[in-house]
Structure 1
Amino acid sequence: MAHQQVTVARIYLREGEHLLSKLMKFLHDEERVAGVTVLRGMSGFGKDGKIHTASLVDLSLDLPLVVEFYDEPDRVDAVIHKLVQQMDLGHILTLSAVRHRKDE
């Protein structure tokens, strides 16, 4: 089994910011990162303290989103630098990880 050091980046957004399409296009078309997943939260709050939540009765259109991607550490650092400059993203977290894959 092959192992590779990677960095995982998590970008925290809200649907109401309307940045997801632009962010996905950037990560896929321009930067071609190794993989991206978008998670839609059921509930959450940011530094403004306002709780954003969904219920069966009232489906909010301003729920929390987490956009997660990974790649080689240097590539992730470069991508994050561009994202912060171009989209003014302020809630980004990075984690070191090991990618495991079957030898080819």
Structure 2
Amino acid sequence: MLIKGKAKRLTIYVDEGDRYQGKPVYEAIVHFLFKHKVSGVTLFRGIAGYGADGVFHSIKILRLQESLPIMIDIIEREEVLEKILPELEAMVTKGLIVTSEVDVIKCSQCPER
């Protein structure tokens, strides 16, 4: 359970068309996080972007391609993320995974310290 105070943000960047075991990788990640009782996750679908492969993705050419950038944002206690990170790394064969330290200021479901 997430608590007020120090936490970690784990952000994963993938393409909408990336697959893991036959389904979109972003769906597989969300189901994995839910199964492991991660406090919460939010997905953002980008309107444009490119990664290390240099392929530009844009909503303007959506008719030709449906592989827009997806950002998966998770804020959780560091010890929870450390346990699940190896599996997430295995799921993301293309993309980027980053972490940063955050301070949880307000959380409506967070217990007080």
Structure 2 length as normaliser, TM-score? 0.78
Q: 1:15-39 deviations in whole A, cap 9, x for unaligned?
A: 111211111100012x111110000
1:63 to 1:6, Cα distance in 2 relative to 1, 3 A: same
Give the secondary structure class of the aligned counterpart of 1:81: helix
Structure 1 length as normaliser, TM-score? 0.84
Letter paired with 1:13: V
Partner of 2:14: 13
Give the secondary structure class of the aligned counterpart of 1:27: helix
Partner of 2:5: 4
Measured on the aligned residues, the alpha-carbon RMSD in Å equals 2.3
Corresponding residue to 1:100 among 65, 83, 105: 105
Please list every run of at least 4 consecutive aligned residues from structure 1 whose deviation after the TM superposition is greater than 4 angstroms: none
Q: Does 1:22 pair with 2:28?
A: yes
Q: Does 1:42 pair with 2:61?
A: no
Aligned residues: 101
Structure 1 residue 47, shift from structure 2 partner: 0.9
Consecutive unaligned residues of structure 1, counting only runs of 5 or more, are: none
1:57 to 1:36, Cα distance in 2 relative to 1, 3 A: closer
Consecutive unaligned residues of structure 2, counting only runs of 5 or more, are: 19-23
Q: Which moved more, 1:11-20 or 1:57-66?
A: 57-66
Identity of aligned residues (%): 26
Give the secondary structure class of the aligned counterpart of 1:49: coil
Corresponding residue to 1:62 among 62, 67, 70: 67
